[in-house]
Amino acid sequence: MNDVAIKATNLVKKFGDFVAVDHLSFEVNKGEIFGFLGPNGAGKTTTIRMLCTLSSPTEGSATVAGFDVAHQGNKVREHIGLVSEKMIMYDRLTAQENLRLFGELFDIPRNALRERIGELLRVVNMEKWADQQIGTFSTGMKQRINVIRALLNEPEILFLDEPTLGLDPQSTNEIRDFTRSINDDAGTTIILTTHAMTEADMLCDRISIIDYGKIVALDTPSNLKKVITGADTSVIELDVPNITPTLVSNIQSMSCTQTVTVEDETHIRVHATGDEACDNVIDTVRSGAGQIRSIHNVEPTLEDVFLYLTGHVVREQVADKVTTQEGRHGRRARSRIR
C-alpha cells in the first residue's frame, strides 16, 4: 500500500452526454514515471485534472499520495506539482516573481523559498534571467521556469501534461533530460501525458495506452511491444518508389494483413501475421508491378502497438490537434457550462 502513489478506481468524467473518461482504474507506484499515451481527446488531460483536484469525478474515486481527491483536496494539493498543457506563468511578472508567488501559495517559509528558487533556477540554467519578465522569454525558456515552478513545494508526485508540446527539438530534449533527472535525483513520481511515442518510450517505466476514455493496455514499453511480436505479427517496412492506391488496397486485401499505413510517398508499413508474411507482401507488391527498393522486418514501436490495439494511428489525430486545438477547447469549454 505504501508503495502506491496514485490509485484510481473506476474513474468516470462526463461532460453532458460526452464521456471523456470511462471507468479508469489503475495504480501508479512510488518513484515511477507513468505515462498516459493517446491521441488528443482520449481523456488524458481530463484524468490528470481529476487527479489534481481541478475537476471532480462524475463517478469513481482516486487517492493521490494517500489522500482522497474528492474529500481531501487540500492535502492532495500539498503533495503535487502540476505542469499543464497551458503554461502557468504570468507574462508581466519576472521569473523570480512568478516563482515567489507560487511558493507563497504553498506556504513555503520565506528564507527556504528564496534558497529553493535560487537552486532551481541554477538547475535549469536560468539564474541570469531571474529578473526578466516571462513575456520576453522563448517558449523553451518559459517551459523551464514553468517546470521548476511545479517543483517548488518538492512534490511527491509531479504531473506533466504534454510538457514538450510546441517546443523546439533542443528544448524538448532539455525538458526530457530534466524530467529524467527529477525522477532519478528526488525519486519523484511522475505522471506524464504525451502523444509523442518516442517520448513515452524514452521516459516511462510503465505506459497506459488510452483511447476514447478507456485504458486499452497498461504495461512497460517493452512488454507493450511484445503484444505485437507475441501475436506472431511482423512489422514490415517497404520502400516502394511507385506506390499506387491499387497496390495499397491489394496489400490490404491479403488474408495475412492487419493494417497498411502509407507513411510518405515511398514508404509503406504493414502489420501482417504468420511466418510467410514477408514473402506474401513481396509477392503482392511484385505482382502489382511495384518496385521494392528495400524491405525490412522492423522492431515494433509504440506507434505500432497503438495502431495494433486501436486500429487507428495517433499521428493523424495529432496533426488534426494542432490545427483545431482552439476549436476543440472552445467546444469542450461550452459543454462544461451546461
Partner 1 sequence: MGARSGIRHALWIAWKDLLDLSRNRMGLVMLILMPLFMMGMVGYIFPSNSGMSHVPVALANLDAAQGNTSLGTQFVAQLEALNNKTGMMDLSTVGSAADVKSNIQNGQQSAGIIIGSNFTSNLKTGKQADVTIVVDESNPQMSSLIQTQLTQAIGLMGTQTATYGLNQTYKTPLNYSLAQVAPYNVQTTGIVPGQTSYFEFVAPGIMGMVVMMSLMTGLPHAISYEREMGTLDGMLAAPVHRMSILGGKVIAQTTRGMMQGIMVLILSIVLFGVVIQGSIALILGILLLGVFSLVGLGILITSFTSTEETATMIMMTLTFPMMFLSGVFFPISQMPQFMQVIAQFLPLTYTISALRQVVVLGAGVPEISRDIIILFGFGIVLLSAALLAFERAMKR
Interface positions with partner 1 (CB under 8 A): 49, 52-56, 74-75, 77-78, 80, 82, 84-90, 92-93, 97, 101-102, 104-107, 133, 149, 153, 330, 333-334, 336-337
CA atoms of 259 and 224, how far apart (whole Å): 18
| Smallest separation, CB 2 to partner 1 (Å) | 22
| Smallest separation, CB 250 to partner 1 (Å) | 48
CA atoms of 179 and 191, how far apart (whole Å): 10
Cβ distance to partner 1 smaller for residue 161 or 199: 161
The 10 Å Cβ neighbour count of residue 162 is 23
Amino acid in the structure at residue 19: V
Q: What angle do CA 301, 306, 309 make, to 5 degrees?
A: 125
| Smallest separation, CB 155 to partner 1 (Å) | 10
| Smallest separation, CB 274 to partner 1 (Å) | 49
Cβ distance to partner 1 smaller for residue 110 or 286: 110
Cβ distance to partner 1 smaller for residue 149 or 271: 149
Cβ distance to partner 1 smaller for residue 130 or 309: 130
**Helix ranges, the chain (H):** 44-51, 73-78, 95-105, 110-123, 139-151, 169-186, 197-203, 221-230, 245-252, 277-287, 302-310, 314-337
Cβ distance to partner 1 smaller for residue 6 or 285: 6
**Distances from the Cα of 324 to the Cαs of 36, 41, 79, 203, 321, in angstroms?**
21, 12, 34, 28, 5
| Smallest separation, CB 337 to partner 1 (Å) | 5
Cβ distance to partner 1 smaller for residue 20 or 302: 20
| Smallest separation, CB 77 to partner 1 (Å) | 4
CA atoms of 239 and 99, how far apart (whole Å): 51
Listed residue (14, 12, 16, 36) closest to 306, CA to CA: 36
| Smallest separation, CB 258 to partner 1 (Å) | 40
C-alpha cell at 171: 528544448
Cβ distance to partner 1 smaller for residue 55 or 233: 55
Cβ distance to partner 1 smaller for residue 135 or 274: 135
Amino acid in the structure at residue 3: D
CA atoms of 152 and 99, how far apart (whole Å): 8
CA atoms of 203 and 35, how far apart (whole Å): 8
**Helix ranges, 90-210 (H):** 95-105, 110-123, 139-151, 169-186, 197-203
| Smallest separation, CB 182 to partner 1 (Å) | 17
